Amino acid sequence: MSYQKKFLSTVVSIAITAFPLVLSAETNSTNEYLKTMLNNEVFCADNIEKINYNLPETLPEVKIEKKTSINHSYSTILKELGLDKMTVAIDDKDIKEQSDKLDNKINFDLAFKLAMDSFMNDNDDWESPLALAIEDAYDVFDQEGNFNPTQEQLVEKGKEILFRVLNDPATTITLLSLSDYPPEGCETVSENWIFLIEMKKYSDHDHWAIVNRLGKKPVYNYGFN
């Protein structure tokens, strides 16, 4: 049982104990509401508007390649990006299960590339990894006596900071499995390859990259504190 469900189970127990005089009709309504929460339907719904609000109206289109396998070469992909020190905690069983059971026009390897590109270059969400690194860039320029850096300078410095954060064994990337709890935006694994990055420097955030399996939606990433 996930920690969210354990917490809600406790809430249900307290509610039942603390409010014994509630009318039966109201009690039934409350129980149905709490049951819905326990089924993971309310948590996501509450967050959809917040997450999507920060997404731009347009994003680069997804380039769809042939549905071929390159042997799940995420290590090679990271090495090409210069991120060979990053920890990969992806179970090959999850890759195979999602590749075999779900409809994919974008295979895992392409999805991994697209996700990494999004993490490293897309700061449209204000809590994305790059957006947080750009915030740190302000401090760097302040220390250097540059109190009015250009946007180009901030982005360039932010990418340098983020690269160092990503290329660290303390940074871990995982692939959400079919049984994992969904991300804050309520995206589903059945429709998307979903990657989660956890970074020690930004340990108060979780960050997800969402790659639609059919290439029908642009790739994007976001963070949540």
Q: Does position 72 have pLDDT exceeding 50, yes or no?
A: yes
pLDDT at 44: 59
Tokens 């996501």 found at? 44
The residues, any chain, with a CB within 8 Å of residue 176's CB and separated by 6 or more, are 182, 183, 189, 194, 195, 196, 208
Give me 198's structure tokens. Answer: 């956890």
| pLDDT interval class at 26 (50, 70, 90) | very low
Instruction: Give, for 213, the enclosing helix (H) or strand (E).
Output: none
pLDDT at 161: 95
Q: Which residues pair with 210 in a beta bridge?
A: 194, 220
Q: Does position 15 have pLDDT exceeding 90, yes or no?
A: no
Q: Does position 210 have pLDDT exceeding 60, yes or no?
A: yes
pLDDT at 121: 96
Taking a C-beta distance cutoff of 8 angstroms, is the pair 107, 193 a contact?
A: no
Position with higher pLDDT, 15 vs 168: 168
| pLDDT interval class at 140 (50, 70, 90) | confident
Helix residue spans in 105-167 (DSSP H): 108-121, 129-143, 151-166
- Residue 194's CB is within 10 A of a number of other CB atoms, namely 23
Position with higher pLDDT, 132 vs 65: 132
Give the integer Cα–Cα distance in Å for 120 and 152: 15
Q: Does position 225 have pLDDT exceeding 50, yes or no?
A: yes
The domain limits of the chain are 3-39, 48-224
Reduced to 3 states (helix: H, G, I; strand: E, B; else coil), residue 193 is strand
Q: What percent of the chain has pLDDT over 90?
A: 57
